[in-house]
A and B are shown apart, each in its own frame.
Chain A
Amino acid sequence: MSIFLLRLSVFLILFTSILWGVERLVTYELTTSNEVYFDNWNELKLLKKKPDVLIIGNSRAWIHYNTDILDSLLENETYNLGMDGMTSIQQEYRYKYYRQFNSKPKLIIFNVDDETYYNRKEILQPQQYFPYLDDSLISSQCIRMGLFPMRVYFPPVRYFEADICFEAMWRCLTNTPCDESVRKRKGFLGFDRPWNEATYKQIISKNLIAKFDPSLMKRHELFLQSLRNEGIELLLVFAPQFVDYTKHIAHHSTILLYYQNLAKRLGAGFWDYSQSDYSKSKDNFFEQHHMNLSASNRYSIEIGKRIKESQILN
């Protein structure tokens, strides 16, 4: 019995030590790489020009706001912090992480929608967070959203079942170039994809309800208020979404009213594009929430011009 336990312990210690070494190697490679997913975070530490305009939101933010176009129209540096599936609280943490390395911007465009205050209990693509779990800002919000805490507190198991991380590390070690077609440019990436009717039909066949969590709404308002107190201009924008889809969402008008009142309380602007001309044609979208590249570019031009006209940045 004692020999069995001794051998088992030695094997487990050896295995854990190897895992620890591997964890350090993967973390080092990924936190210094420009690999897709991880450049979302690594780039924030390395921005040469400090942005004056930030865009914050979920995938609708990074797909719709072309930073190059906004740069040239606003004559100010812009950066898009949008990431997939980010709820209001994750957006807040991402902004705080950004501020660890960068100064405050003049203007923040918050892309809001029907899901901004949905209290999601799982993280989309959690593997992209693993190399940054030593950062308490990131780890605390990941645990809050259901990440298994052992990944944070016991690093040898951090990359358990994280094949994307290992594959990315392998590409780093072998200097294999990443797929440039999926790389974001200053946080923006547009897609030239056609409308997918089959998927759309499946989605609208379900019961669509905007789920707002009051505690998230309250917290978000406090966060936005703190930004206003710092003297940062805020703009809430409801980006275009396919109008037929919007008809299926219960309480959409109530949501819009909430954003209008919120903007009023904050002394910020609220621009609603959910009923705009962009929203009326399927040709502008590849799915109900996301416009294709050419529509995103046109939309970015309109947003840029409108900001300029409104002189928010002056």
Chain B
Amino acid sequence: MIFNSLEFLFFLPIVFALYWLLNNKRLVIQNALLLIASYYFYQCWDYRFLFLLVFSTLLDYVSGIKIEEANNIKNKKIWFWLSISFNLGFLGVFKYYNFFAESFTDLLVGIGFKVDLWTLKVILPVGISFYTFHGLSYIIDIYNGRIKATRNFIDYSVFVSFFPLLVAGPIERATHLLPQIQKKRKFDFQLAADGMRQILWGLFKKMVIADNCATYVNDYFDHPGDVSGDKLMIGAIFFAFQIYGDFSGYSDIALGTAKLFGIRLLKNFAFPYFSRDISEFWRRWHISLSSWFRDYLYFPLGGSKLGKKRAIINTLIIFTVSGFWHGANWTFIAWGVANALLFIPLLVFDLNRINIDTIGENRRFPLITDLLKMGITFFIVCLLWVLFRSDNLNQAFQIYSGIFSKDVIWAPFWILYKKPFYFILVMLLFEWFNRSKDHGLQIDGIKSTALRWVAYLFILHFIFIYGAKSQEFIYFQF
């Protein structure tokens, strides 16, 4: 069941109605409903993986209590590492085993051995990277004494499996979400109305921006050798918006849906294509993952407190791991490393935190210099996305060689003839004027109801007429 499906259109109102009908009952019943709904939502993909999810949840729940109750450091460590090993073990087997087996085989064959390693023929359980990270953050926080282990299994299960965030995030923290689950929720009109707006905005980004761009991207990138440089450049630009529309659209729908249930999830995107340098981009893109790596990997490694040299190594590590988190392929690792290489010079010259304010604050339009910086950053990001999109490094280099050919000068002309270009303009306009808010359609500042409704109808008309053939959310594969 995906967010832009008919099934979800029926599922959401039913769960919403039952949820608020149970509001006067005990909190545990309301949370139990959320859990049942979440497990139903998850098993719509493949019921077999539900067992894995329940096992992982149970393990972390028990481990959390055992860590807290441990009367000596040894027991505490045993339970901590047991949980970490199982979590990373599942991720390793389901997501990375084949990658390591195949890479090892290639290496051995490369040096003259004849081997045929056994590979697993299993599909990746949807959302495994996300719920594993939920569990890890919970266990690490208990181990470090930042939070108390919850004794309520239902509450903990809802924290791990809450259906809006179950399959593609945002990656929540127990410190942020668990207290909301443990507290009685009251219906908040403003929050629910904004949730509906955010869902609408997410659907626009997914169905109009991402799915329309996908048609061109697939057409151009599937056979890059037969496609001219200008088309490959347009493909790279459209892919940048496809992945943004797809993933941030998903996040918007997730955040909006959670708001309907009186729950606020962590913000995952903050208009990343308005960034003026790559470090700002990474503060605005997939925020819940970046901050997860910062808190649970970068800081424990010493962060920037142990000197520049160590900070550079740590930066390289977290970008590489972040790339690898996205998928078991050398292209993702190359993408992570390339981002690190662009980030490190900013770190070395202390330029990584010069753009932390909202761009064009108190101005209607950006300064020319800001516009230039945004353009350059966007161009760099587009080039990096090519690695992310390619099936292998050869294909990426084929695309790069096309992009850096003389044909590319026609790209600015031909892009004007592509429909998604105009949809992107609409999205950027909305996002620009709401760049200090949570999402592009947070127009509750407009006093006139009629005007707001016209804006909703305007967005709905794009979804209705120009929504393209539905494609699965890209981040489901991670």
Chain A interface (Cβ < 8 Å from any Cβ of B) = 1, 3-4, 7-8, 11, 14-15, 18-19, 148, 150, 159-163, 166, 198
Contact = CB atoms under 8 A, between A and B. Distances in A.
B467 A1 contact: no
B189 A11 contact: no
Nearest to B196: A8
A1 B20 contact: yes
A162 B193 CA distance: 29
Interface stretch (B154-162, B244-252, B453-461): B453-461
B25 to A, nearest CB: 16
Contacts of A160: 464, 467
A148 B187 CA distance: 35
23 contacts: A1-B20, A1-B187, A1-B189, A4-B187, A4-B189, A4-B192, A4-B193, A7-B193, A14-B453, A15-B457, A18-B457, A19-B464, A150-B6, A159-B464, A159-B465, A160-B467, A161-B464, A161-B465, A161-B466, A161-B468, A161-B469, A162-B465, A163-B466
Contacts of A3: 189
Contacts of B465: 159, 161-163, 166
Nearest to A157: B464
A283 B20 CA distance: 70
A139 to B, nearest CB: 19
Interface size band for B? 10 to 19
Closest 7 CB pairs of A and B: A1-B187, A161-B467, A166-B465, A4-B189, A4-B192, A163-B465, A163-B466
Nearest to B191: A4
Interface core residue of A150, A161, A163, A198 (most chain B CB under 10 Å): A161
A198 B467 CA distance: 31
Interface string B369-401: 000000000000000000000000000000000
Contacts of B189: 1, 3-4
The interface residues of chain A, by DSSP majority, are classed as: helix
Contacts of A14: 453
A160 B9 CA distance: 15
A288 to B, nearest CB: 20
B453 A11 contact: yes
A65 B453 CA distance: 53
Interface core residue of A1, A166, A198 (most chain B CB under 10 Å): A1
Contacts of B192: 4
The interface residues of chain B, by DSSP majority, are classed as: helix
A218 B214 CA distance: 41
A34 B301 CA distance: 70
B222 to A, nearest CB: 12
Nearest to A18: B457
B459 to A, nearest CB: 11
A39 to B, nearest CB: 22
A15 B307 CA distance: 59
Given A161-B468, A198-B226, 5 more contacts: A1-B187, A4-B192, A11-B456, A14-B453, A19-B464
Nearest to B17: A5
Nearest to B23: A1
A160 B456 CA distance: 17
A7 B196 CA distance: 12
Nearest to A166: B465
Contacts of A1: 20, 187, 189
Contacts of B453: 11, 14
A15 B454 CA distance: 10
A147 to B, nearest CB: 14
Given A1-B20, A1-B187, A15 B193 contact: no
A4 B457 CA distance: 18
Interface string B184-200: 00010100110010000
Contacts of A159: 464-465
A169 to B, nearest CB: 11
A4 B188 CA distance: 9
Nearest to A148: B6
Contacts of B466: 161, 163
A63 to B, nearest CB: 24
A163 B462 CA distance: 10
Nearest to A160: B464
Interface in B418-467: 453, 456-457, 460, 464-467
Nearest to B470: A161
Contacts of A161: 464-469
Contacts of A18: 457
A1 B466 CA distance: 33
A159 B226 CA distance: 35
B277 to A, nearest CB: 38
A45 B13 CA distance: 44
Contacts of A148: 6
Nearest to A165: B465
A163 B226 CA distance: 28
B356 to A, nearest CB: 36
Given A159-B465, A161-B465, A161-B469, A15 B196 contact: no
Interface core residue of B460, B465, B468 (most chain A CB under 10 Å): B465
A295 to B, nearest CB: 27
A150 B5 CA distance: 14
Contacts of A198: 226
Contacts of B20: 1
Contacts of B187: 1, 4
Interface string B222-257: 000010000000000000000000000000000000
B12 to A, nearest CB: 12
Contacts of B467: 160-161
A247 B377 CA distance: 54
A18 B457 CA distance: 10
Contacts of B6: 148, 150
Contacts of B456: 11
A130 B34 CA distance: 39
A230 B473 CA distance: 54
Contacts of A4: 187, 189, 192-193
A11 B459 CA distance: 14
A118 B274 CA distance: 51
A99 B227 CA distance: 47
A194 to B, nearest CB: 17
Contacts of A8: 196
Contacts of A15: 457, 460
A208 B467 CA distance: 34
Interface string B1-43: 0000010000000000000100000000000000000000000
A14 B460 CA distance: 12
Contacts of A7: 193
A162 B465 CA distance: 6
Contacts of A166: 465
Nearest to A19: B464
A122 to B, nearest CB: 11
A86 to B, nearest CB: 21
A33 to B, nearest CB: 18
